[in-house]
Amino acid sequence: MNRTKIEWATHTWNPMTGCTYGCPYCFARKITVRFPRNYPFGFTPHFNLHEYEAKMPRKPARIFTVDMGDFWDPSFTGEVRGSVLYRMHSFPRHRFLILTKRPEKIAECKNTGSIKFPSNLWLGVTVDRRGAEHRIKELIDRTVGTKAHRFVSFEPILDYLDLGSFTMDGPEWVIIGAQTNPTRYPPWETVEDIIDKCEIWGIPYFVKDNLRVLFINHRSWNLFKQNYPKDLQIVEAP
């Protein structure tokens, strides 16, 4: 459990690390290569018992969970996921946020056995390129009937996205950001389209600081917002 510089979270928690998806821009993989002593298993999916048992913050926190991997990677068993969800359920004062590019795997864990998605869980999908827009609908469809909240992260945006057929009726929060290291700014038209849809549907959105220059260049500073939905407007932990 660590404090984080990720703008929309207060902490990161990695009871599971590693991912087999193979994104070329993956920051987590780069970190495991840079600090091999901290990640003896590299980026191979692995359950970390010590981190699983880490002491939770005393005050309410927004905890980005498994930011160094993919909670829904097929290498992890349902038992492992269930144990992590159970620990989340034990700390209702916190909000746990999970991101994936595999929303189709959510159904495998959805309300199975004695473990259900806790109400302090935020499930999200990353939409980074054309052809990945379908993940939004998959997230919505596969979380129907659960207590989990839903959000979408458009970070990094690597291409023009086709959101014409997506009403955004379902996600409760949206994050928008650029690729970093190396920096690659998204098409302004796509950023503007995402914001327009958020405004129409009344969805709070959070623009990351790495896009400030883009908003300045397009003289659209009034659209630069870093808002949270009510459930995530917590008192940050010290």
pLDDT for residue 165: 64
Cα(101)–Cα(99) distance, integer angstroms: 7
Nearest residue to 232 via CA among 63, 6, 4: 63
Q: What is the mean pLDDT of residues 131-157?
A: 93
List pLDDT tens digits, range 18-27: 999 999 889 8
List pLDDT tens digits, range 178-199: 998 888 999 999 999 999 999 9
Residues 6+ apart with CB under 8 A from 180: 27, 156, 210
Is residue 93 domain-resident?
Answer: yes
Is residue 90 domain-resident?
Answer: yes
pLDDT tops 90 at residue 132? yes
SS3 label, residue 98: strand
Q: Is the peptide bond before 204 cis (omega within 30 degrees of 0)?
A: no
Instruction: Assign residue 206 the CATH number of its domain.
Output: 3.20.20
Calculate the alpha carbon distances from 102 to 35, 85, 108, 111, 157 in Å: 27, 17, 11, 17, 17
pLDDT tops 80 at residue 210? yes
Q: What is the mean pLDDT of residues 233-238?
A: 65
pLDDT tops 80 at residue 158? yes
Higher-pLDDT residue of 167 and 159 is 159
Q: What is the mean pLDDT of residues 109-120?
A: 73
pLDDT for residue 44: 96
Q: Is the peptide bond before 187 cis (omega within 30 degrees of 0)?
A: no
Counting every residue written for the chain, the total comes to: 238
pLDDT for residue 116: 83
User: What's the number of domains the chain is made of?
Assistant: 1
pLDDT for residue 180: 86
pLDDT tops 90 at residue 144? no
Higher-pLDDT residue of 219 and 55 is 55
Is residue 237 domain-resident?
Answer: no
Is residue 82 domain-resident?
Answer: yes
Is residue 104 domain-resident?
Answer: yes
Residues 190, 157 contacting (CB under 8 angstroms): yes
pLDDT for residue 163: 86
Q: State the chain's mean pLDDT as an integer.
A: 91
**pTM, full prediction:** 0.94
pLDDT for residue 206: 97
pLDDT for residue 111: 52
What range does the domain containing 106 cover? 2-232
Residue with tokens 């018992």: 49
SS3 label, residue 1: coil
pLDDT tops 70 at residue 112? no
Residues 59, 231 contacting (CB under 8 angstroms): no
Angle at 149 between CA 147 and CA 154, to 5 degrees: 155
List pLDDT tens digits, range 73-103: 999 998 999 999 999 999 999 999 999 999 9
Is residue 238 domain-resident?
Answer: no
